[in-house]
Amino acid sequence: MNNTHQKIVTENRKARHDYHIIDEFEAGMVLLGTEVKSLRNGRANLKDAYGRFEGGELYIYQMHISPYPFAAYGNHDPLRPRKLLLHKSELKRLYGKVREKGFSLVPLRVYFKNGRAKITIALAKGKRLYDKREAIKARESKRELDRLKKHRI
């Protein structure tokens, strides 16, 4: 029996629209105390965030965590790069894939799992405009079929 409790803080819904998701990884984050408190209040945004390797370590950039309003001093920079914690084998695999043309690292969601802040980061390949149109067309036709089935029964 799996008794892990997850509280989702924020999701990047646009990522599934703009990218083909190849693989997903769960990573821990190195955070400051005021960042954790802001995350617990749901004050985060993944809209323009991306992952990048620097010095053999993976960092998340442009992830906005709002400053904690009740911090007397020492509040954090909302857009600072945050280090991600993954196993060495996962880092090597991701590094090899990201160096290939067209692949990038996109965060999908930030959540708390058993009291610890986690992020799901995806190895993704950008969609072309016609891929996006095809996805929208398929979704619309599925919705129409479901609507017709519902009325027929």
Any bridge partners for residue 50, and if so which? 61
CATH for the 6-127 domain, from 2.40.280.10, 3.40.50.12780, 3.20.20.120, 2.60.40.10? 2.40.280.10
The answer to whether 122 and 105 are in contact (CB under 8 A) is yes
* Each residue's pLDDT tens digit, 13-25: 888 888 888 888 9
The answer to whether 12 and 49 are in contact (CB under 8 A) is yes
What is the chain's Cα-based Rg?
A: 18
User: For the chain, which residues make up each domain, given as ranges?
Assistant: 6-127
The structure's pTM equals 0.76
Coil, strand or helix at 145: helix
Coil, strand or helix at 37: helix
* Each residue's pLDDT tens digit, 92-132: 888 888 888 888 889 999 999 988 899 999 988 887 777 77
